[in-house]
Amino acid sequence: MSEVLERFAASPRQVAKGGAGVVLDMLREEIISLTLAPGTMLSRQELQERFGFSSTPIRDALMKLQEERLVDIFPQHATVVSVIDLDLARQGQFLRRSVELELVRTLALAPQPAVLAKMRSLVRQQMAFADLGEHEAFAAADHAFHRCLYDAAQVTALWELVRRQSGHIDRLRRLHLPKEGKMREILAAHTAIVDAIEMTDPVAAQEALRDHLSRSLDFVPSLRDLHPTYFRK
């Protein structure tokens, strides 16, 4: 953390801006991974002590998370990790699926060997993490696989936009990941997507991706039974 502070030592405004980015990225990841479960209270004072920043970057990061609907801020009272909102999850799923259907079509019309090699490498990484039962590492490789689609199509900024709108569906996916067979199901879907792109078959690529990104909401009832406090009533 001291390295971050040194990098922005020339300007208090830069420190605040850079610090907010550090806090935002780390808290977002902890919320998405459910390390910070829905309903968790966040103390600004404790966050200042943890990250070593003043109140300004902490406040700015929490405001960004509020914009993403990942925390609820009650002025002068508390900041709480939001519960999962199924309407927002559906919207996030629709957005991501819509964008990525066009991405895989574009890539399948003109496959790039380097991109295919990277995607297959990420699938192999996921396979290794699945064998080890490493859910966090598997989820990180999953995100890297999908981001690869955006990078390959040279629309990386869209990845950031979609990510900001996908917090609730991403939490559902993470909640579902430990279910027996789920990681293997994802691996099969990713393999099918890469195979279709390599075969220059945009229809098959879209079918594989649509199936892959359309299942998370199907398991809401069972997930809700297991974690009733995680969901908006």
pLDDT (0 to 100) of residue 161 = 94
Closest CA to 68 of 15, 19, 17, 31: 31
For 189, phi then psi, to 5°, come to -65, -45
Are residues 70 and 99 both part of a single domain? no
| 192 contacts 104 by C-beta, under 8 angstroms | no
Model confidence pLDDT, tens digit, residues 40-66: 999 999 999 999 999 899 999 999 999
Last residue of a domain, one of 81, 111, 126: 81
Statement: residue 16 has pLDDT above 50: no
Q: Look-up: residue for tokens 């909401």?
A: 217
Last residue of a domain, one of 63, 81, 99: 81
d(CA 58, CA 135): 28
pLDDT (0 to 100) of residue 216 = 85
Model confidence pLDDT, tens digit, residues 180-226: 999 999 999 999 999 999 999 999 999 999 999 998 898 899 999 99
- What residues make up the domain containing 69? 2-81
The separation between the first and the last C-alpha atoms of the chain, rounded to the nearest angstrom, is: 39
Statement: residue 14 has pLDDT above 50: no
